[in-house]
Structure 1
Amino acid sequence: MKTLISGLLAALLALGGTAALAQSAAPNDAQIAGIVVAANTVDINAAKVAKSKSHNKSVKEFAQRMITDHSGVNKQATALVTKLRVTPEDSDTSKSLKEGGAANVKNLKTLKGGEFDKAYIDNEVTYHQAVLDAIDQTLLPNAQNAELKDLISKVRPAIDAHLQMAKQIQGAMK
C-alpha cells in the first residue's frame, strides 16, 4: 500500500519542494490547470470506488462529498480555462498523478471491508495533505493569471476541510 501511495503522491510531493525546483522547471498556468484537473479527477475516481464498495456510512458519505466537491472544482476550472482560452497541458506531474491514481483505484478494487475503508481513508489523509502542500508551495506561487490564482485560493479551504474530515474518520476507525 505504501508504494501505491508514494506513487500517487510523488508528483505532488515533488511540487512541495519548491526550493528544489529550478526556476525554469516551475509549472506554467496551462500546466497548473492540468495539475488541478488531474488531482481532482484522481480523487473523484477513488471516491467512486469507495462509494460503491464501502459499507461504512461515514466512508460512503465522505466519498460522495469528494465526488460532489471535486467535480465542482473541475467544472470551475474547465469554465475558467475556456474563458481564458488556455488549454490545460499535461506535465510530468499531471501524468504521474493520473498513473498513481489508476494504481490506487486498481489496488482499492482488490480490498474489502475494513481493510478497504482503512486504505481509502489513509490515502485520502495523505493525498489531501500533499495537495495542500502543493497549493501553498508551488501552485499559488507560480500561477501567473490572477483568476487561476483566485480559483486555487478559493478551493484551498475546501481541501483543508476534506483533510480534517478524513482525519476524523481515520481516528474513529482506530
Structure 2
Amino acid sequence: MQPRNKTLYMLSFVFAAACSRTSPDTSSPEPVVEPSPAATAPAHRNTADDEIFGVLDVINDEAIAHGEYMKKWAKTQKVKEFAAMMINDHEFVRERAKKVRDALDLRATSSRLASDIQQDSRQKLDTMGKIEKGDELDKAYIDIQVDVHATWLSALDNKMIPFAQTDELRDELEEVRKIVESHYNLALDMRTNLKTEKK
C-alpha cells in the first residue's frame, strides 16, 4: 500500500503544479498596446493610412515638379532659390515618409483627395508653361505656391491629420505640416516683395 500511496501523492503534486501553470495570473498585468488596425491591415485591403500616404506622395511629387520647372526658368535668384528649397525639402519629406510607411508595412494608395490635388497642381503647372518667361512667370509661380500650400494645409488639418490611424503617421503629418506652413509663409512674403520690387 505504501508504494501506491506514494504514487498517488506524486501524481497529485504534478497535477497541482500543472494547474498552477494554467490558472489565471492574478498579479498586476504589464500594459499592452493594441496594434492599430491600419498597422496590421493585410496587403490586399486599403486603409485610411494607405490613402493618406498616397496624398502625401502626391503633395511631395507636385511640389517637386513645380520646383524643377522654376529652377530652370525663374528669372530672379530669390525665386530660383525658393524653387530649389521646395525640391530639397520635399525630396527629404518624401524619403522620410517612405521609411515610416515601410516600417508600418503600408502602401500609398489612390483616393479622391489625392486625385483632386494632383489634377489641380498639374493644371497650374500647365498654366505656368504658357506664361512668358521673366517677371510675370516668377510672380505667377509664387502666387501658385501660395494657393497650393493653402490647399495642402487645409487637407492636412481637415482630411489627413484627424483621420490618421497610427501614431507614427500622425507624428509625420505634424512635421510635414510645419514644413508646408513655413513654405506658405515664405511664399506670402515673397509675393509681397515681388509686387514691391515691380513698382
Same fold (TM over 0.5): yes
Look up the match of 1:134. Answer: 155
Q: CA deviation at 1:46?
A: 0.6
Look up the match of 1:47. Answer: 67
User: Which of 162, 167, 181 is matched with 1:146 structurally?
Assistant: 167
Contact 2:48-2:164 at 8 Å conserved across structures: yes
Structural mapping, 1:3-152, within 5 Å: 28-111=48-131, 112-152=133-173
Structure with max Cα Rg = 2
What is the distance in 2 between the residues matched to 1:88 and 1:134?
Answer: 16
More helix by share: 1
How many residue pairs end up in the alignment? 148
Look up the match of 2:186. Answer: 165
TM score, norm. by length of structure 1: 0.81
Render the CA deviation track for 1:59-115: whole Å, top value 9, x for unaligned.
101000000001111111111111111111101111222222222222212222111
Moved more, 96-105 or 48-57: 96-105
- Stretches of structure 2 that go unaligned for 5 or more consecutive residues are 1-46
What is the distance in 1 between the residues matched to 2:161 and 2:97?
Answer: 15
Moved more, 163-172 or 128-137: 128-137
